[in-house]
Chains A and B, each alone.
Chain A
């Protein structure tokens, strides 16, 4: 009994120490990720191999990119349900541009990113200036973005992209898969945005207390618009990476990804009520989801059961969060 208590106290002080580092704010998810990895590495010899770990990272990357923007949105106390179909829209815009114009790959990608950002901007303006619940606005935008994707492609898929484009999703640089590299760059950028810029600080303030934020002079509307625009941009980027990985553009790209992104954010310890959250937690959240999917595959679990498992894990993550908060209060 007493030795167990002593060791749990030892762990506690260790955790406290880690918590004093800014990077380690997402401690619980990291421990969960390591725990899952440890268990699965015993169960399956194929888990702890370079190829498989690379595979997990690549699988996590698209959702992680999407979830980085979503983290900021959720920190402001909002939500964005449109990012999945926004991926599809950006993907289709890019596909058409690559295949049907002479703009070239680089310009086409830029157009895709900006079309995502533009839709995010519109969502942000409607949410802040129209004072409408983000859930409702982005649900509407979800349908609109899907409709645009279908309209411009007449519902068909596009194939036959040049090899240089496919490098984005399938190539490697210094042994690191490109999607993973892009994910890492995005997370460095978003970490800086959240921890070291006004956008991040004000997002935390707005989500923590919107009225107080107004009264300390924060232009709440403008910063919400910035956050939704950034989120739309990330959706565009996720669409580009995914299209490159699967070597096609079609209106069904990214279907349901908004929920995976939200799940990654929540598993990463960001509060859905806003005001609290970390970017590091989110990338770990995305890793946890990918690791679990990967492990269940390795263990030969039916994909139907995988869906049940992922659902349960989302609930458990939030439950742990709410219990630990109750204890703190």
Chain B
């Protein structure tokens, strides 16, 4: 085993050795190594789904690793729960802050560790807590924050610093995990964040820094560890590597021909967007066309606006604020989901269980729900027509289910996805917006979904294929739209696309000529 060459050494604050973690149908982490020194900022880098957050959740005690060992200060530890991880000195600050808005700063800082009277442990020493809180805040240069003010009265940046103060003020604190800490911050607030990080460094805290922003990583980190598809790639010193080598390491995988795209003759135009903007969904100046038989990929990092683009076209938050949408060459106005559906658009949403399916309804009813008028005879729903309809799609798409009356809740992810697609096929949809259609389903089912999408395209349907998985987007798409901050940062022809140039566009670098 390669693990044996790694010395367990108390010089390291943290060593994670040979970490493996599987979820049903997914190998999320495979033999991953990671280490951290005192007073170091160690960036963790990788695409969406590379395993960064899984690894950090293992460290924070939120997930239990299947294989591997974790050492803190040279001592092997077992982090079975977040509580245990905290006791070992690990703290994590998530993107979504975990402060309770309606409680005061002091109450948040001591949440779960309230200072109470010895004899009456249910009585809280409010004054002492506030005093102690202001001491902690002073330590972070946050003198301006009143410990008795409510968290909701603070700005996002201040809240984040309070959360960091809360996490790091625990006794024996050693390791801080920051997950995209600057994503919600303004420029000057980012500087304050850097100052805080530097101060913690000087105190000897080890910091693991997760970010997609390369310029930040180069500015703040000492070393970088790169993950890809759940595997460990490399650990490098930040000042000995260039941006382009780093991107290569991030994406540099062999593209296996897992997803054969059928060659489909591209037909006439179906959908055209011209300078489309939606303020509420933070989508700006989007223009592209989707033709019959075409699969247009949409790629971007988290928060780039992929899902929001789909929802804009589908009329989820009402009409667009600017621009034009045309369907088959005719300008249309889409102000609601009903409008979009009547124009032949269907959405296969990212979150199947919360947005796509009515889980407690049968397979049949989920298939017919959107075009129920087609099974209504003499003003009443015909159960026979419904069953006949469902049978057709069950056979055509190969939906595996006990019976058509089975609740859709009980189907596997891949089969649930087929139910959603059947629904739109029954509604004579011609424009499919598929948002992460393979998320959370196993590899075999993924390939079935790919084949299904190719087949739909070959029948003259147009597909907007939103995905954060590069291999599938590269192999299926005729054309790839790359989004960043709700805008198109580049459109790449499917044949010329490489992972490097797409990621570069997504991150905001320039494609080197």
In the bound assembly, the distance between CA atoms of A53 and B423 in angstroms comes to 48
In the bound complex, residues from chain A placing their C-beta under 8 Å from that of B361 are 204-205, 208, 275
A167 CB to closest chain B CB (Å) equals 32
The range of chain B's interface size is: 20 to 34
Q: Is B380 an interface position by the 8 A CB rule? A: yes
- Identity of the chain B residue whose Cβ is nearest the Cβ of A200 in the assembled complex: B381
Residue pair B338, A212 in contact (C-beta under 8 Å): no
Residue pair A212, B360 in contact (C-beta under 8 Å): no
Residue pair A212, B381 in contact (C-beta under 8 Å): no
Contacts A201-B369, A201-B372, A217-B337; A212 near B356 (Cβ below 8 A): yes
In the bound complex, residues from chain A placing their C-beta under 8 Å from that of B423 are 216
Q: A219: which of B316, B338, B357, B376 is its contact (CB, 8 Å)?
A: B338
Q: Is A13 an interface position by the 8 A CB rule? A: no
In the bound complex, residues from chain A placing their C-beta under 8 Å from that of B369 are 201, 205, 216, 218
In the bound assembly, the distance between CA atoms of A196 and B375 in angstroms comes to 11
Contacts A192-B380, A198-B372, A217-B337; A208 near B359 (Cβ below 8 A): yes
- Which of B316, B358, B361, B376 gathers most chain A CB within 10 Å? B358
- Identity of the chain A residue whose Cβ is nearest the Cβ of B339 in the assembled complex: A217
Q: Is A129 an interface position by the 8 A CB rule? A: no
Q: Is A213 an interface position by the 8 A CB rule? A: yes
Residue pair A212, B355 in contact (C-beta under 8 Å): yes
Residue pair A217, B341 in contact (C-beta under 8 Å): yes
In the bound assembly, the distance between CA atoms of A148 and B203 in angstroms comes to 70
In the bound assembly, the distance between CA atoms of A213 and B356 in angstroms comes to 8
Q: B370: which of A196, A209, A216 is its contact (CB, 8 Å)?
A: A216
In the bound assembly, the distance between CA atoms of A93 and B361 in angstroms comes to 41
Q: Is A211 an interface position by the 8 A CB rule? A: yes
Number of A-B contacts defined by CB within 8 Å: 63
Q: Is B437 an interface position by the 8 A CB rule? A: no
In the bound assembly, the distance between CA atoms of A217 and B372 in angstroms comes to 11
In the bound complex, residues from chain B placing their C-beta under 8 Å from that of A204 are 358, 361, 365
B357 CB to closest chain A CB (Å) equals 6
Chain B contacts with A in 346-400, Cβ cutoff 8 A = 347, 349, 354-361, 365, 369-370, 372, 376, 379-381
Chain A contacts with B in 193-229, Cβ cutoff 8 A = 195-198, 201, 204-205, 208-209, 211-219
B372 CB to closest chain A CB (Å) equals 6
Residue pair A212, B341 in contact (C-beta under 8 Å): no
In the bound assembly, the distance between CA atoms of A196 and B358 in angstroms comes to 18
Residue pair A215, B356 in contact (C-beta under 8 Å): yes
Residue pair A215, B357 in contact (C-beta under 8 Å): no
A111 CB to closest chain B CB (Å) equals 28
Residue pair B381, A205 in contact (C-beta under 8 Å): no
In the bound assembly, the distance between CA atoms of A192 and B370 in angstroms comes to 20
- Identity of the chain A residue whose Cβ is nearest the Cβ of B408 in the assembled complex: A208
Contact with A along B58-100 (1 / 0, CB 8 A): 0000000000000000000000000000000000000000000
Q: Is A80 an interface position by the 8 A CB rule? A: no
B417 CB to closest chain A CB (Å) equals 14
Interfacial residues, chain A to chain B (CB-CB below 8 A): 192, 195-198, 201, 204-205, 208-209, 211-219, 275-276
Using A197-B381, A217-B370 as known contacts, list a sample of 9 further A-B pairs with CB atoms less than 8 Å apart, ordered by residue number in A.
A192-B380, A197-B379, A201-B372, A204-B358, A212-B354, A212-B355, A214-B316, A217-B338, A219-B338
* Closest 10 pairs (CB-CB, A-B): A208-B358, A196-B380, A216-B370, A217-B341, A209-B358, A196-B381, A208-B360, A205-B358, A275-B360, A217-B338
Q: List 18 interface pairs A-B (beta carbons < 8 Å), by A numbering.
A: A197-B379, A197-B380, A197-B381, A198-B376, A198-B381, A201-B365, A204-B358, A205-B369, A208-B360, A209-B355, A212-B355, A212-B358, A213-B358, A214-B337, A215-B347, A215-B349, A215-B356, A217-B337
